[in-house]
Amino acid sequence: MSALFAIALAAAAATTPVDCSWDNPGANPYTGTAQAAVDRYKDLPEKVRTRLKYRLQYGNPDEMVAIKRDAIEGKHRYGAAIRDMHFGKDKVCGTVSRAKWSAARVEPGAVYCADSHCILVPEICGNVSRITRRDTDEPTAMAPTAMPTPERELETTTVFDWTDHVGTYELGLYDAQEQQRAETPPLLSGASNFPLPGWEPLSGYPTRAPLKPRQLGGITPPREDVPVAAVPEAETWAMLLVGLGLMGCIARRRRRDS
C-alpha cells in the first residue's frame, strides 16, 4: 500500500507545475523541442497547438518583445506574468519570478500567437513559456470617420493638365493648318498704283506669324482645286454696250438701204 502511495505521489509531483525563479536567464536553458513543449499545454485546443507548432518550426513570430522585470513590451499589450516555462529537458514551472532583475535589464523574446493564445520564447535560453495578450480580450474602438468638409473637397480636387491635349498655342491652334496672311492692304479696283492712305506697312515692327485656323473633327476642309468664275470689270461692260450700239446702228442702216 505504501508503495502505491509513493508511486502516485511521484506521478503527481511530475505532472503538477511548480513555481520557479528566473532570476538568472540562461542558467538552465530548455533542451527539448518546441513542438514537444507545445504538446504539454493540454488545455489548448488541438488546432491551436498545431498552428503554434507550425509557426515555431518555421520561425514566424508575431513580433519581437522586450522582457523587463515588471513588464513585457511590444506593439501589443501583454500581461507581465510568465507561466508554464520549460527548463532543462522536460521540466515545466507553472509560474516564474524575475523579481531579482534590475530595473534596467531587458531580454529580447519572440511571441507566437494563435486565437489569443501566445507563446513566449526568450532569445537567451529558448525556454518555451506562455504569456497573455491583453488587447485581444478588449475590442478596439474604431475612431469616428471624419466627414468631408467643402474645404477638404476643394483641397483634394484633382487638377488636370491640358497642355498635352491642346498644344502650346492659344485655343489649341498648334496642330491647325497654316493660312497665308496678306502682307499689304487691299487696293481699289482700277487704282492698283495708288494705295489708300494710312495702309502703308510700318517699318521696324516684327512680322506676325501666319494664323492657323482651328480644324474641327468631322468637317471636310475646303477644296482648293475648284475653278472660280471671273467677275467682269466696269470697262468690260462699257465695251460690251458700245459694241451692241454699233451693231444696232449697222442693222438700222441696212434697213434704210433696202
Buried b (16+ CB within 10 A) or exposed e, 46-55: eebbebbbeb
Q: Enumerate the β-bridge partners of residue 107.
A: 67
Compute φ and ψ for 19, nearest 5 degrees: -85, 135
Residue 220 has pLDDT above 70, yes or no: no
Residue 156 has pLDDT above 80, yes or no: no
The confidence score (pLDDT) of residue 247 equals: 87
Contact assessment for residue 82 and residue 71, using Cβ atoms and an 8 Å cutoff = no
Q: In what order do the strands lie in the sheet with 129-131?
A: 18-21, 91-97, 83-87, 129-131, 117-122, 107-114, 63-67, 72-73
Least confident of 128-132, 150-154, 172-176, 197-201: 172-176
Each residue's pLDDT tens digit, 61-73: 999 999 999 999 9
The confidence score (pLDDT) of residue 208 equals: 58
Each residue's pLDDT tens digit, 105-127: 999 999 999 999 999 999 999 99
Q: What is the pTM of this model?
A: 0.49
Enter the DSSP assignment of 220.
P
94-104: average pLDDT: 95
Burial bucket for residue 134 (CB in 10 Å: 0-12, 13-18, 19+): exposed
By three-state DSSP, how is residue 242 classified? helix
18-21 and 91-97 as β-strands: parallel, antiparallel, unpaired?
A: parallel
CA 125: distance to chain centroid?
A: 44
Contact assessment for residue 85 and residue 93, using Cβ atoms and an 8 Å cutoff = yes
Q: Quick one: pLDDT band at residue 140, thresholds 50, 70, 90?
A: very low
CA–CA distance, 192 with 177 (Å, rounded to integer): 31
The confidence score (pLDDT) of residue 122 equals: 97
Contact assessment for residue 179 and residue 210, using Cβ atoms and an 8 Å cutoff = yes
